[in-house]
Amino acid sequence: MKYYFGWAKDDEIRERGANGGFVTATLMGALETGLIDAALVVKKYGIYEGVPVLTSDTEVVKESAGSLHAAPLNVAKIIVKYAKDMRLGVPVKPCDARGIIEQAKRKQLNIENVFMIGLNCGGTLHPLLMREMVASLFDVQPDVVLKEEIREGKIIIMTSAEGLEERAIRIDEAEEKGFGRRYACKICTTKIPRMADMACGNWGVPRDESHLKTFVEVLTEKGEALLRNAIDGGYVIVEEAPQDALDTRNRTESYMQRRASYWKARLDVLADAERRERFEYYIKMLKKCIHCGACKEVCPVCACVEDAKCHEFCDESDDHIVSIFNLIRILHLMDSCILCGQCEDVCPVDIPLTYIHRRFSERMQKKLGYTPGMDISQKPPLHETKLLWEAE
**Considering just the CA atoms, what is the radius of gyration of the chain in Å?**
22
Q: Identify the pLDDT of residue 162.
A: 57
Q: Identify the pLDDT of residue 308.
A: 60
CB count in 10 Å sphere of residue 56: 13
H helix intervals, the chain: 11-16, 22-32, 58-63, 76-82, 94-105, 127-137, 171-176, 183-186, 221-232, 243-266, 275-286, 294-298, 309-312, 324-333, 342-346, 353-368
Residue 332: HSE in the Cβ half-sphere, 13 Å Cα cutoff: 17
Confidence of residue 319 (pLDDT cuts 50, 70, 90): low
Question: Helix 353-368 and helix 324-333: axis angle, to 10°?
Answer: 40
* Higher pLDDT among residues 191 and 72, named by residue: 191
> Residues 55-69: pLDDT tens digits?
999 999 999 998 889
pLDDT tops 70 at residue 333: yes
Task: Please report which helix (H) or strand (E) contains residue 7, including its range.
Answer: strand 2-8
pLDDT tops 60 at residue 385: no
Confidence of residue 274 (pLDDT cuts 50, 70, 90): very high
Confidence of residue 114 (pLDDT cuts 50, 70, 90): very high
- Are residues 160 and 239 in contact, defined by beta-carbon separation less than 8 angstroms? no
> Residues 116-171: pLDDT tens digits?
999 999 999 999 999 999 999 999 899 989 888 888 888 999 887 555 788 899 99
Confidence of residue 312 (pLDDT cuts 50, 70, 90): low
- For the ranges 21-25, 256-260, 316-320, the lowest mean pLDDT is seen at 316-320
From the DSSP assignment, how many helices (H) and strands (E) are in the chain? 16, 11
Q: What distance in Å separates the CA atoms of residue 128 and residue 43, rounded to the nearest whole number?
A: 18
Look at the alpha carbons of 49, 98, 67, 29 in this order and tell me if their dihedral is positive or negative: negative
Arithmetic mean of pLDDT, 352-367: 96
10 Å CB burial of residue 90 (0-12, 13-18, 19+) is buried
Mean of pLDDT over the chain: 91
Q: What distance in Å separates the CA atoms of residue 377 and residue 363, rounded to the nearest whole number?
A: 22
Confidence of residue 46 (pLDDT cuts 50, 70, 90): confident
pLDDT tops 60 at residue 388: no
Q: What distance in Å separates the CA atoms of residue 131 and residue 125, rounded to the nearest whole number?
A: 10
Q: What distance in Å separates the CA atoms of residue 75 and residue 124, rounded to the nearest whole number?
A: 14
Q: What distance in Å separates the CA atoms of residue 111 and residue 222, rounded to the nearest whole number?
A: 11
Q: Identify the pLDDT of residue 328.
A: 86
* Higher pLDDT among residues 215 and 307, named by residue: 215
pLDDT tops 70 at residue 86: yes
Residue from 231, 212, 197 nearest 17 by CA? 212
Q: Identify the pLDDT of residue 59.
A: 96
Confidence of residue 371 (pLDDT cuts 50, 70, 90): very high
Q: What distance in Å separates the CA atoms of residue 344 and residue 183, rounded to the nearest whole number?
A: 9
Q: What distance in Å separates the CA atoms of residue 230 and residue 8, rounded to the nearest whole number?
A: 9
pLDDT tops 90 at residue 42: yes
Confidence of residue 285 (pLDDT cuts 50, 70, 90): very high
Arithmetic mean of pLDDT, 42-54: 92
* Higher pLDDT among residues 35 and 289, named by residue: 35
Look at the alpha carbons of 193, 197, 201, 206 in this order and tell me if their dihedral is positive or negative: positive
Q: Identify the pLDDT of residue 310.
A: 60
* Higher pLDDT among residues 315 and 153, named by residue: 153
> Residues 184-242: pLDDT tens digits?
999 999 999 999 999 999 999 998 898 899 999 999 999 999 999 999 999 999 999 99
Task: Please report which helix (H) or strand (E) contains residue 5, including its range.
Answer: strand 2-8
Q: What distance in Å separates the CA atoms of residue 55 and residue 378, rounded to the nearest whole number?
A: 32
**Sheet order of strands, 154-159 included:** 145-151, 154-159, 165-170
Residue 257: HSE in the Cβ half-sphere, 13 Å Cα cutoff: 11
Q: Identify the pLDDT of residue 326.
A: 86
As a whole-number percent, the residues of the chain with pLDDT over 70 amount to 93
pLDDT tops 70 at residue 314: no
Return the amino acid letter for 172. Answer: D
